[in-house]
């Protein structure tokens, strides 16, 4: 038994995205979930299953109480921050495929725009894995990814122009998306190359946005999906993944530091998928940092090790290119809500309603955070 | 830590009394770089953990290494950082692969000497693969950090 096409996403919802929103994270979560259920045409009273991130502050019972859900029979949480997004969909598809759930809601709400930066909450005395790095001034996720970026440049000849290809593709897509934080704000290559440094070799535009916002999806069985308001978007395949020896952000305590968690996730994903990388015409690739895109292109099998940077050349990642990615703007230019906006955009591509619709797209890869234990799904229509 | 004049206010430092890794910090205070090794099969591992992933043994020992390595990669952080680091930014952070423990890489800084600040080496001169050697920098009564300098010879 597999989950293959047995569950479908039938509703999506999201709040506005902004640097600062007034409502609480729980309130934003409830707004996004309410809108997703409305989009599906399903009453809140029918919801019986929930899945979200361990980092999520809106508790299941609070969400259920606010929205008027009935009995809840399945609830799960996925760890590791930005690695969790696609796994919430995967867990819900598993629950529905096995009959544990009938109407499932998955969501992420986060006020990372107006709230504290996680790294700035560092304690003066650390007992966790950061005790080996923060005392040396390697403080932020950007610093850790910068170390990997420099090594990747050294080994495979990636340049800042390649990273700019990623940033500019996402920005171009966001410029067509009225919901994006960077709507109406073009970015040129010159602006990219002259931007201020965050952690060399990463500049401002290699980093994702800081966003307040929430998103949600509603899943039901394939049978039920045919009676919902929109064209069903089937969860064709999915996998979680940690690559041995299972490092998190600081991926250099191992023999092959450039083999991130996407490598293990991809092996699990494609094994159960009739749709293979060569069949994928559009992808939503987790982009907290530009570097993660070439690394993911390799991990998920769109090119070989070391070819991810060259893959980005010639507008390959833009609408009309070889593999348009992050067609709503991604974490770099639409919103950074721990990658959940990639899921909703994958659904829009499969419905044919994206502001940057890829003609003929019948399957979409969605990935969660490369560089932490992660997950990915293949959606199809 | 009260009364220790070397303690720099706000500098993030490790807990040093965890039985799992306190020997690493004790050794650093003596001016030695030690890495955890499996007490049965001898495989080195970092960061310290209770079990050997190669043979599942809980036995462990600490192996003294030479304190020499090569720059595996580096970055140059710019503000906004924690206030103590903003004051010295931009500075380098290097990841050093140890000569006698391939695959084990330690985060540190390339500095001009034991007393030199984080920004004492021009980042434009740093090269991946260049040899470095450990220097031991006392930060608090119980914390000596291992940084790196270019070999003197």
Q: Cα dihedral angle (A107, A112, A117, A118), rounded to 10 degrees?
A: -10
Q: Cα dihedral angle (A85, A171, A20, A64), rounded to 10 degrees?
A: -30
Do residues A206 and A330 touch, judged by C-beta distance below 8 A?
no
Give mean pLDDT, residues B78-104: 94
pLDDT of residue B127 exceeding 70: yes
Residue A120, pLDDT score: 80
- Give the mutation candidate from B19, B22, B107 for the A interface (greatest A CB count, under 10 A): B107
Domain count, chain A: 1
Q: What is the pTM of this model?
A: 0.96
Q: Which residues contact B152 (CB under 8 A, 6 or more apart)?
A: none
pLDDT of residue B6 exceeding 60: no
Residue B93, pLDDT score: 98
Residue A75, pLDDT score: 97
Residue A247, pLDDT score: 66
Q: Where in chain B is the domain with CATH 2.40.50?
A: 67-153
Do residues B75 and B93 touch, judged by C-beta distance below 8 A?
yes
Do residues A350 and A377 touch, judged by C-beta distance below 8 A?
no
Residue with tokens 């599942």, as numbered in its chain: B56
Tell me the per-residue pLDDT of B31-76, one tens digit each, with 9 for 90 and over: 999 999 999 999 999 999 999 999 999 999 999 999 999 999 999 9
CATH of the domain at A54: 3.40.47.10
For A359, the domain range is 7-113+209-380
Residue A254, pLDDT score: 75
Flag if B145 and A135 touch (Cβ within 8 Å). yes
A166 found inside a domain: no
A330 found inside a domain: yes
Do residues A350 and A379 touch, judged by C-beta distance below 8 A?
yes
* Chain B residues with beta carbon closer than 8 angstroms to that of A143: 75, 77, 93
A167 found inside a domain: no
Residue A192 known to be catalytic? no
Residue A244, pLDDT score: 79
CATH topology of domain B67-153: OB fold (Dihydrolipoamide Acetyltransferase, E2P) (2.40.50)
- Residue A88 CA: distances (Å) to CA of A44, A71, B2: 19, 20, 47
pLDDT of residue B7 exceeding 60: no
Confidence category of residue B135, pLDDT binned at 50, 70, 90: very high
Do residues B63 and B44 touch, judged by C-beta distance below 8 A?
yes
A239 found inside a domain: yes
Residue with tokens 């595996």, as numbered in its chain: B72
d(CA A166, CA A325): 9
d(CA B43, CA B101): 10
Confidence category of residue B3, pLDDT binned at 50, 70, 90: very low
d(CA B72, CA A263): 22
Nearest Cβ partner for B13 among A135, A202, A257 = A135
Give just the sign of the alpha carbon dihedral A148, A150, A152, A158. Answer: positive
A186 found inside a domain: no
A204 found inside a domain: no
Print the SS3 string covering chain A: CCCCCCEEEEEEEECCCECCCCCCHHHHHHHHHHHHHHHHCCCHHHCCEEEEECCCCCCHHHHHHHHCCCCCCEEEEECCHHHCHHHHHHHHHHHHHCCCCCCEEEEEEEECCCCCCHHHHCCCEECCHHHHCHHHCCCCHHHHHHHHHHHHHHHHCCCHHHHHHHHHHHHHHHCCCCCCCCCCCCCCHHHHHCCCEEEECEEHHHECCCCEEEEEEEEEEHHHHCCCCCCCEEEEEEEEECCCCCCCCCCCCCCCCCCCHHHHHHHHHHHCCCCCHHHCCEEECCCCECCHHHHHHHHCCCCCCCCHHHHCHHHCCCCCCCCCECCCCHHHHCCCCCCHHHHHHHHHHHHCCCCCCCCCCCEEEEECCCCCCEEEEEEEC
Chain A residues with CB within 8 Å of chain B CB: 120, 122-127, 129-140, 142-143, 146-151, 154, 196-202, 245, 250, 252-255, 257
Question: Helix, strand, coil: what percent of chain B each, to 5?
Answer: 10, 35, 55
A266 found inside a domain: yes
Residue A212, pLDDT score: 98
Flag if B12 and A122 touch (Cβ within 8 Å). yes
pLDDT < 70 positions in chain A = 122, 245-248, 251
A135 found inside a domain: no
Q: Percentage of chain B surpassing pLDDT 90?
A: 90
d(CA A311, CA B90): 32
Flag if A200 and B75 touch (Cβ within 8 Å). yes
Helix (H) or strand (E) holding B71: strand B68-77
Which candidate in A80, A152, A300, A336 is catalytic? A336
d(CA A14, CA A21): 13
């Amino acid at each position: 038994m597999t989950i293959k096409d047995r569950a479908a996403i039938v509703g999506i919802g999201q709040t506005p995205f902004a640097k600062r929103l007034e409502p609480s994270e729980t309130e934003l979560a409830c707004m996004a979930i309410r809108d997703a259920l409305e989009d599906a045409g399903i009453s809140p009273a029918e919801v019986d299953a929930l899945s979200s991130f361990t980092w999520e502050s809106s508790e299941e019972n609070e969400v259920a109480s606010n929205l008027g859900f009935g009995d809840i029979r399945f609830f799960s949480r996925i760890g590791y921050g930005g690695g969790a997004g696609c796994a919430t969909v995967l867990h819900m598809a598993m629950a529905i495929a096995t009959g544990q759930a009938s109407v499932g809601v998955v969501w992420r709400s986060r006020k990372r725009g107006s709230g504290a930066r996680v790294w700035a909450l560092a304690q003066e005395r650390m007992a966790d894995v950061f005790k080996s790095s923060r005392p040396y001034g390697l403080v932020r996720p950007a610093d850790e990814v910068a170390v990997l970026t420099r090594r990747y440049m050294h080994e495979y000849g990636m340049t800042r122009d390649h990273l700019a290809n990623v940033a500019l593709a996402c920005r171009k897509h966001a410029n067509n998306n009225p919901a994006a934080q960077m709507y109406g704000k073009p970015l040129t290559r010159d602006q990219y190359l002259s931007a201020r440094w965050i952690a060399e070799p990463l500049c401002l535009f290699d980093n994702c946005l800081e966003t307040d916002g929430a998103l949600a999806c509603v899943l039901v069985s394939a049978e039920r999906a045919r009676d919902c308001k929109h064209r069903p978007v089937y969860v064709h395949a999915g996998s979680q993944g940690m690559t041995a020896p299972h490092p998190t952000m600081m991926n250099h305590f191992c023999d092959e530091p450039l083999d991130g968690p996407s490598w293990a996730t991809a092996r699990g994903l494609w094994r159960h998928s009739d749709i293979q990388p060569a069949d994928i015409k559009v992808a939503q690739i987790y982009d907290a940092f530009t570097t993660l895109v070439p690394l993911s292109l390799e991990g998920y099998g769109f090119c070989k090790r070391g070819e991810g940077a060259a893959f980005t050349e010639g507008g390959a990642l833009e609408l009309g290119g070889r593999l348009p990615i992050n067609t709503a703007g991604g974490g770099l230019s639409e919103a950074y809500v721990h990658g959940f906006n990639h899921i909703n955009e994958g659904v829009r591509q499969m419905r044919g309603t994206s502001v940057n619709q890829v003609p003929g797209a019948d399957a979409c890869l969605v990935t969660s955070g490369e560089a932490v234990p992660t997950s990915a799904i293949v959606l199809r229509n | 830590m009260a009364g220790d004049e070397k303690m720099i206010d706000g500098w993030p430092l490790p807990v040093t009394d965890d039985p799992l890794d306190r020997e690493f910090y004790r050794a650093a205070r003596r001016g030695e770089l030690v890495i955890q090794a499996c007490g049965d099969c001898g495989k080195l591992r970092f960061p310290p953990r209770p079990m050997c992933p190669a043979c599942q043994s809980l036995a462990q020992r600490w192996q003294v290494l030479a304190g020499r390595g090569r720059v595996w990669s580096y970055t140059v952080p710019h503000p906004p950082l924690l206030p103590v680091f903003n004051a010295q930014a931009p500075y380098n952070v290097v990841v050093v692969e140890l000569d006698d423990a391939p695959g084990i890489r330690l985060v540190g800084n390339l500095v001009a000497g034991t007393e030199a600040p984080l920004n004492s080496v021009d980042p434009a001169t740093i090269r991946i693969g260049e040899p470095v050697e450990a220097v031991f920098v006392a930060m608090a009564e119980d914390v000596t950090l291992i940084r790196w300098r270019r070999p003197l010879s």
